[in-house]
Amino acid sequence: AQSVTQPDIHITVSEGASLELRCNYSYGATPYLFWYVQSPGQGLQLLLKYFSGDTLVQGIKGFEAEFKRSQSSFNLRKPSVHWSDAAEYFCAVGPMDYGGSQGNLIFGKGTKLSVKP
Amino acid sequence: DTGVSQNPRHKITKRGQNVTFRCDPISEHNRLYWYRQTLGQGPEFLTYFQNEAQLEKSRLLSDRFSAERPKGSFSTLEIQRTEQGDSAMYLCASSKRQGRIETQYFGPGTRLLVL
C-alpha cells in the first residue's frame, strides 16, 4: 500500500540552527514528491516538489529537499531556521503516471516545528 | 493567479443539519480536489473532478456527502445530516496537468464544527 511516514511528530529547534525533517515513502515506483507547510488555521502552501532529474531540489523560503531512492526518503532541510518557520510540515506523494489513474496526494501525518528564540 | 478560495472559512452547525461549502479554483485549472483534515492528521483525499466530471470518490465519502462541479468551474461539497465525527478542516485544491506533471495548490480551508 502507498504510504508516507513522517517519524517526528514534533521538533523544537533554536532560531538560527539548522533543520532536517524526515520523510519516508512506500510506493510501487518513483513517485512525485512534495513538501507543504501549514500555519495554524490555514491551508497548505507548497514549499517544493520533485519530479525527476537533480535529486536536490530548492524551494521557497530557503528550504531544500533531497530525494534518495535507495532510502525511499525525501528529507526537508534548512540551514538556518527563522522564528517565522514555526508551522506544521507535510510530506506528500503523488502518482507518476496519470493515465487513467487518480491524481490525489497521499500525505504523512505531519511534523510540527517549534522555534525557540 | 488569485489562488484557490474557499467559503465559508468557518462553520458551526448542530448535529443533523446540512452544510454546504464552496471552492473556487485557480482559473483554467481543470482538476479540483477535496480533502478532509482532522486534528493531528494529514489531509485525506475525498474526491476529485476533472472539468465537470467527478472521477473518483474515496471510501471516506459516505452517502451523506455529495460534491458537484457544474460547468467545470467552482465546486460545492455538501454534507447532509451532519455528525460530530464530521468536524474537521475541509480543504480544496486545484491543479492543471502539464504532460505527466501535476501540482496541486490548496485553498485556506473551511473549518467545520458540529455540535
In tens, the pLDDT along A57-99 reads 999 999 999 999 999 999 999 999 999 999 999 999 986 555 4
Integer Cα distance of B90 and B6 in angstroms = 9
Integer Cα distance of A7 and A12 in angstroms = 14
Would you say B28 and B44 are in contact if contact means Cβ atoms under 8 Å apart? Answer: no
Chain B contact set for A57 (CB, 8 A): none
Contact partners, residue A38, CB within 8 Å, separation at least 6: A44, A45, A87, A88, A89, A90, A110
Asked if B40's CB is within 8 angstroms of A107's CB, the reply is no
The answer for A 71-100 residues in CB contact with B (under 8 A) is: 90, 92, 94, 96-98
Pairing, β B44-50 against β B31-37: antiparallel
The label of the residue with cell 484557490 reads B4
B68 forms bridges with which residues in the sheet?
A: B76
Indicate the average pLDDT of chain A.
Answer: 90
The label of the residue with cell 539548522 reads A18
**DSSP per-residue letters across B71-85:** GGS-EEEEESS--GG
The label of the residue with cell 517519524 reads A7
The amino acid at residue A83 is W
Would you say B114 and B82 are in contact if contact means Cβ atoms under 8 Å apart? Answer: yes
Integer Cα distance of B98 and B103 in angstroms = 9
B105 closest CB neighbour out of A32, A46, A102: A46
Which DSSP helix (H) or strand (E) runs through A91? strand A87-94
pLDDT tens-place string over residues B27-60: 989 899 999 999 989 999 999 998 999 888 887 8
Residue A54 in this model has a pLDDT that exceeds 90: no
pLDDT of residue B25: 96
